Structure 1
């Protein structure tokens, strides 16, 4: 009985906790209790305008013995989580003339400085700098000083109560300043203030999207004014939304009305931050400026004739076929572009089959409608179905065949079922069982292995790459991988296992149709079991890995030329090591730290490269006796695979395994040697360096 009573008590507490936490996303907040917080009334010596004027071309630091005090009214709130570690202020609660940004290393500042609070800032020891061209208040940053950069760090959390004080007597209602998008450039003094953009609407490019994907910050464009002759908005700006905001998973308003948010900018782009979604409650009016007469994000399935995937395919009449009927397809998303292996298309399926839908939009996986496992309604009227190299696909006409649905039309055709995502169940097949009815399906083929000739090679090298899978009876099928896939440079597994993939079809130039597999993620071809002949694939452990977040484990040696190895902000993923000879004579080495191969029976290293512009190839060397001088060291030249497409940065290419069998049980150093001549220099990016071994 005692145990039963304890269980009831625990259940009640848990249930009560759910009731309390379930309200996080309703965008309704209680006022913080302020009476226990420190408050202090001071006399301001400087206005916001005077403080900003102290910053010219480089940081301005207030002396530690300064008595200067600035005052302002808090225009922001971080209560919803959309604004992060920033307090925005303005010089008046009504009709402000100045706004300002205070960068603080603290969260939930709304509990101490809620919107409308009058605050005083003691400026001693604080500093003015810029981020994205926007002047802000923080503290001096040692790295920025060393690099000569006009930037400041956030005010440390423990320093905030010593420098920022809420008035004990004044809290006002902040009335948003009415500002047109066309007036933003002329009113940059208001950056940081709360503004209202009247008669505005989110553009059709983002209609029926959520504010932001989970954990991802995105821009949602907003328009004001309409140019009938150009069929476009007179002016647009950006609304910057955090994927950590309490309202991130809500749909953006579909109508027209008053937008209220914090006025900001990043470099030349004017942007706004939403304090809370309820500030946009007025954006519900129709018709919109672009002519949309009713909410386009809702659909009544009973008003349409339902079609299955198989029935949609039957609409194809042998050539590009326009779909004109009032038809609706309900299907589950089985694959999207999350890893980069699929590009601007998704696959959906129902009980009757699967089909590819082409959409001219990047990062489809970030759209709630296109997450794997989500059921989506597809309005078919106005789309077309066509045959691309033997595979039937949905989209809009392009060059006489089916192309991509333009981004501005996505809202017209795709509707969230508002059902939770559920696991996608693969249709199990063998290679010999595959038929054209399976094309477009998410399938599972058991007990496959990569052929001997592909083991040790990366999934993709230099472009879309074919690798061959086989079963234990010798039946083979092609696996295709894009060089833009996040796993393109990873080696294929050397064992046997089950492959989960989308089945596609391709009629080659010899007019022979072949089945092909596309895996959305590397884990979908996890082949670690013994191979068909019983061979157990060796397990390689990482001895050393470097994604080039820094060059602290590398030594850059410049033998000649003014250029040197450095870091690029882009990579796979970013950053990467970079060398650009600027069409001058250069010899530059990038030399790793010593890496021990003690106790290894097998070892190799691998990396990825991306290159552009004609010039000398990158050279790769290994030594076990680095003297500290590249000229007196005995180097062994290696022969890895390097990027050969120098016309563009077209994606990273895996090197394959570079065998270190001659260096087992030794300490090795790996070096990249770059050379260039006058008038010709290739820019080389290097990423994802790894040394692996097997004991």
Structure 2
């Protein structure tokens, strides 16, 4: 009976262990199929006629060609993907201690730690595999139509674990300064240890990574105080995945030892954390002089203030007011920069009001402290408050041209002021107002205006029509109006499927508007954070009419890539650098583009098909443009009698609004509604004429081409 109890107990323990492993392991990926995996020994390869290659020999072989050799390599697994920070990669090194060579093995397989845990000695059959390079790092994989990873079903045919040998991987002690030494690239893939390092102050009190987003954090060693700011002698990047099980943990704030996988991307040295237990970075003081953990928020030594009380600290008539008391503010984040319509600032609110906080950092919404609906604890001492054109704002001071000015809190100082409340996100409840009811006490609040609509003269327009900020006007049914301001830099879609405001036509119905209320020299203004904030579904306008947008007669967003037969490209002068399509920097969305070449004097045309405006009483053209680099402006023409030759065709130039920001890509500008009334009752073609000179050649991009009419 005792024997059976032991067996039952063993089965229970095994089942429990499997259950716990399945529950806590949260990679979001399926476990690999281990069927068919077997262990081997080195004798297997020697007895079966394999040639042994060292890692050094392997990395000297030609790249991008599959090996036909009956050869193998051996190494020790230095990584583990158990936490999900390392993805579809097995790192190995040539020795468990003091390695001289490391290797990146790319596999289309997750949870490799279950088959090849850290310290395992592994053998890799080279036949059919290949070396490739990614970001300047040599990696071993398999050339397939899907990419250069070893497919999961092939892993068991190429990688075997030693039946008996499992070693303890001892991190190789290095300094960041040694990363630049000749031969350091040989150690890519090895487990290394850095001593007396710390995360720079920009990373203090932040998490390893935002949810589902991979980010870099910087660690430094050595250094000195320069102009009051600590400058590290050497720095390196720690790359963290937002899918890692530890992603939402706060980075260690002290000094100490860091253990991770050594890697590189182009010229940037990178480190990957296997697990957070490998980081022993809790010593104080730090190199930069911080004497204790700055991420601990102690409310007992602070006097709580409300938003209204904070605003009352501003001294009337002063340029700004420094907050010198040991005060704190706990408030909810009611608007952030997730869509880019707010830039380098957030709004927080409590029961007494809302206020804008200026911070010199982009993508604040990725920081757990500034998630929409989250309460944030704020230490106010050292901040400044100022009346900016009628709106009280919190921020910092900076010096420009020798003049001290009010502005943003620097990223390196964020840890001094902002602390995660570790509370759950709460719904943001708007303050309901009519336009007539708005007062200065509402400035900074997230508000709801019921039953508003865009004024008649704005209908048919896009949300933005310039490089900067565009004003549109909302009205209620009593005729009261308020300005809606939208930045052309906003993106109301996603990174892969952007929705730029220059492509969004204003809705003609009526509904509720949700927005932050600001003020500029006595004029109230609204700022939305997403398109749903102005989703006016009631088709009846205040006067009882229904607005009907101009129907689209013809449109081409170039979504599929390449030009259809609807378009003709003509090279009139210069080397043939014809119009083409691309989706570079624009997610999955394609656009028409022509990139000029310096010293080429070119004239190139992109001409649409003929579109009938027969029977139409109104017609307009609308499209978006983006320009980069100095050069001639794009010219837009229309014709009713295209001859097949641009030179012999009679063209009418159209007064379209075009992008003028030659310093950057991405700020798509709406052309506005270009009047085509001169072509009513006729067939019309639209043409884009690109020219470049010997000294100036721009890149012009066109998208969202539409002709509307009724």
Q: Same fold (TM over 0.5)?
A: yes
Summarize the Cα distance change of 1:484–1:271 in structure 2 as closer, same or farther, 3 Å threshold: same
Deviation at 1:412, TM superposition (A): 0.4
Instruction: Tell whether 2:585 aligns with 1:570.
Output: yes
Deviation at 1:680, TM superposition (A): 3.2
Q: Which residue of 1 aligns with 2:501?
A: 488
Partners of 2:531 and 2:647 in 1: CA distance: 42
Partners of 1:131 and 1:302 in 2: CA distance: 52
Deviation at 1:536, TM superposition (A): 2.2
Structure 1 SS opposite 2:281: coil
Q: Which residue of 1 aligns with 2:460?
A: 456
Summarize the Cα distance change of 1:434–1:105 in structure 2 as closer, same or farther, 3 Å threshold: same
Unaligned stretches of 5+ residues in structure 1: 1-15, 144-151, 508-512
Alignment of 1:71-110 (within 5 A): 71-110=74-113
Partners of 2:680 and 2:240 in 1: CA distance: 52
Summarize the Cα distance change of 1:693–1:243 in structure 2 as closer, same or farther, 3 Å threshold: farther
Q: Which residue of 1 aligns with 2:595?
A: 580
Conserved? CA contact 2:66–2:143, under 8 Å? no
Partners of 2:440 and 2:409 in 1: CA distance: 25
After superposition, the C-alpha distances for 1:132-170 in whole angstroms (9 at most, x for unaligned) are 111112234679xxxxxxxx7222333222222222222
Q: Which residue of 1 aligns with 2:210?
A: 213
Structure 1 SS opposite 2:212: coil
Q: Which residue of 2 aligns with 1:252?
A: 251
Deviation at 1:568, TM superposition (A): 6.4
Of residues 298, 306, 315, the one that matches 2:296 is: 298
Structure 2 SS opposite 1:77: coil
Deviation at 1:200, TM superposition (A): 1.3
Partners of 2:527 and 2:335 in 1: CA distance: 10
Instruction: Tell whether 2:142 aligns with 1:153.
Output: no
Q: Which residue of 2 aligns with 1:310?
A: 308
Range that drifts further, 207-216 or 567-576: 567-576
Conserved? CA contact 1:395–1:404, under 8 Å? yes
Tell me the matched-pair count.
657
Structure 2 SS opposite 1:61: coil
After superposition, the C-alpha distances for 1:409-446 in whole angstroms (9 at most, x for unaligned) are 00000011100111100001111111111111110111
Of residues 183, 193, 197, the one that matches 2:194 is: 197
Structure 2 SS opposite 1:153: coil
Instruction: Tell whether 2:574 aligns with 1:561.
Output: yes
Summarize the Cα distance change of 1:204–1:466 in structure 2 as closer, same or farther, 3 Å threshold: same
Summarize the Cα distance change of 1:648–1:242 in structure 2 as closer, same or farther, 3 Å threshold: closer
Deviation at 1:111, TM superposition (A): 2.1
Partners of 1:223 and 1:348 in 2: CA distance: 33
Conserved? CA contact 2:37–2:160, under 8 Å? no
Summarize the Cα distance change of 1:694–1:557 in structure 2 as closer, same or farther, 3 Å threshold: closer
Q: Which residue of 1 aligns with 2:125?
A: 122
Q: Which residue of 2 aligns with 1:239?
A: 238
Of residues 406, 412, 419, the one that matches 2:416 is: 412
Of residues 435, 438, 445, the one that matches 1:434 is: 438
Q: Which residue of 2 aligns with 1:54?
A: 61
Q: Which residue of 2 aligns with 1:510?
A: none
Deviation at 1:645, TM superposition (A): 3.9
Partners of 1:356 and 1:691 in 2: CA distance: 39
Q: Which residue of 1 aligns with 2:12?
A: none
Q: Which residue of 2 aligns with 1:395?
A: 395
After superposition, the C-alpha distances for 1:108-138 in whole angstroms (9 at most, x for unaligned) are 2222222222222222232222111111122
After superposition, the C-alpha distances for 1:276-315 in whole angstroms (9 at most, x for unaligned) are 22222x1222221111121111212122111000000000
Structure 1 SS opposite 2:416: helix
Partners of 1:623 and 1:38 in 2: CA distance: 73
Of residues 551, 558, 562, the one that matches 1:551 is: 562
Partners of 1:440 and 1:619 in 2: CA distance: 43
After superposition, the C-alpha distances for 1:22-70 in whole angstroms (9 at most, x for unaligned) are 6347x9xxx9998973223334521111111124xxx34134x421212
Conserved? CA contact 1:499–1:526, under 8 Å? yes
TM-score by length of 1: 0.85
Partners of 2:535 and 2:372 in 1: CA distance: 19
Q: Which residue of 2 aligns with 1:523?
A: 532
Structure 2 SS opposite 1:104: strand
Partners of 2:643 and 2:124 in 1: CA distance: 57
Partners of 1:338 and 1:542 in 2: CA distance: 34
Structure 1 SS opposite 2:325: coil
Deviation at 1:646, TM superposition (A): 4.1
Partners of 1:225 and 1:244 in 2: CA distance: 31
After superposition, the C-alpha distances for 1:186-235 in whole angstroms (9 at most, x for unaligned) are 11110111111111111110111111111111100011123245732111
Of residues 676, 680, 694, the one that matches 2:692 is: 676
Q: Which residue of 1 aligns with 2:632?
A: 616
Conserved? CA contact 1:61–1:125, under 8 Å? no
Deviation at 1:658, TM superposition (A): 5.7
Partners of 1:53 and 1:94 in 2: CA distance: 23
Q: Which residue of 1 aligns with 2:497?
A: none
Deviation at 1:264, TM superposition (A): 0.6
Q: Which residue of 1 aligns with 2:5?
A: none
Partners of 2:70 and 2:617 in 1: CA distance: 69
Conserved? CA contact 2:462–2:505, under 8 Å? yes
Q: Which residue of 2 aligns with 1:472?
A: 477
Range that drifts further, 193-202 or 152-161: 152-161
Deviation at 1:582, TM superposition (A): 2.4
TM-score by length of 2: 0.84
After superposition, the C-alpha distances for 1:460-479 in whole angstroms (9 at most, x for unaligned) are 22211111111111111111
Unaligned stretches of 5+ residues in structure 2: 1-16, 492-499
Structure 2 SS opposite 1:97: coil
Q: Which residue of 1 aligns with 2:52?
A: 45
Partners of 1:477 and 1:557 in 2: CA distance: 47
Of residues 144, 164, 180, the one that matches 2:175 is: 180
After superposition, the C-alpha distances for 1:376-410 in whole angstroms (9 at most, x for unaligned) are 01100011111111111001124555310011100
Partners of 1:549 and 1:421 in 2: CA distance: 39
Q: Which residue of 1 aligns with 2:348?
A: 348
Instruction: Tell whether 2:109 aligns with 1:111.
Output: no
Range that drifts further, 286-295 or 234-243: 286-295
Range that drifts further, 65-74 or 222-231: 222-231
Partners of 1:690 and 1:611 in 2: CA distance: 16
Partners of 2:272 and 2:257 in 1: CA distance: 14
Partners of 1:595 and 1:19 in 2: CA distance: 65
